[in-house]
Amino acid sequence: MTRSFPFHPDARRDLVLERIVDVPVALVWEAWTVPEHLMQWFTPKPWTTVACEIDLRPGGRFHTVMRSPEGASFPNTGCYLEVVPRERLVWTSAMEPGYHPAAIPVEGFHMTGIIEMAALGASRTKYVATVLHADAAATDKHRAMGFEEGWGTALGQLVEWAKGR
C-alpha cells in the first residue's frame, strides 16, 4: 500500500489491526462510506450504532453515536483528513468538521484513524486499520478498552454484512 503522506507506525503510540478479508474492496469501501451500511457493523455487538453522518471529503464530518446495551449513548465526531476512494480513509477526533480543534473527549484522548484497503483479486481485500495516539498513555488506555478485540469484532461484522448483500 502506498501512502500519500510520510507515515510509519510507532509501536508505543499506535495500534494496528491487519487482516485479509474475503470481501471485494468496493464493498469494504461502501461499508465505511455509506451511513446506513456503517450503522450495520461498526459497533461490536451487543452495542449498536444508532446514528451516523458522513461528509466524505477532507474537512468533512464523520459522526457516529454508539449505544451501550444499557442504553447510554456515546457520540463521536471527527474530521476527515484524507479520502482516497477504495484505498484509504483518514480521520481524527482531534478536529471537528472544517478543521476546527475539538475539545478533549470523555474517554480522555484523541485519536487519528487510518483505514487502508487494497484489492487482492476480485473478491479479497487487504485491510489495515491503524489508530494513532498522542502518547503511550493514550495508546495503553485504548488497548485496555479492547482495541484488538473490538476493532476485530467490528471487522468481522463488516464481513458478515458484506456477505449478506
- CB within 8 A of 145, min separation 6: which ones? 107
Give me the percent of the chain exceeding a pLDDT of 90: 84
Task: Name the region of 118 (left: φ>0; alpha: ψ -120 to 50; beta: rest).
Answer: beta
For residue 111, how far is the Cα from the chain centroid?
10
Residue 105 region by backbone torsions, left for phi larger than 0, else alpha for psi between -120 and 50, else beta: beta
The DSSP secondary-structure symbol of 142 reads H
Q: Return d(Cα 153, Cα 148) in angstroms, integer.
A: 8
- Asked whether the predicted pLDDT for residue 1 surpasses 90, the reply is no
In this predicted structure, the answer to whether residue 2 has a pLDDT above a threshold of 80 is no
pLDDT band at 17; cut points 50, 70, 90? very high
Predicted local confidence at residue 52, as pLDDT: 98
Confidence class for position 18, pLDDT limits 50, 70, 90: very high
Q: Which domains does the chain have, with CATH numbers?
A: 14-163 (3.30.530.20)
- With a pLDDT cut of 70, the percent of the chain lying above it is 95
Encode pLDDT of 132-151 as tens digits: 999 999 999 999 988 989 99
Query: pTM of this prediction?
Result: 0.91
114 has a pLDDT exceeding 90 = yes
Residue type, 56: L
Query: In whole angstroms, what is the distance from residue 103 CA to residue 77 CA?
Result: 10
3-state DSSP call for residue 160?
A: helix
Q: pLDDT, tens digit, for every residue of 78-90?
A: 999 999 999 999 9
Question: How far apart are the C-alpha atoms of 32 and 54, rounded to whole Å?
Answer: 9
Distance CA 138, CA 108 (A): 8
Could you tell me the pLDDT band of residue 9, with boundaries at 50, 70 and 90? Answer: confident
Average pLDDT, the chain: 92
Indicate whether 3 pLDDT > 60: no
Closest by CA position to 65, among listed 78, 77, 80: 77
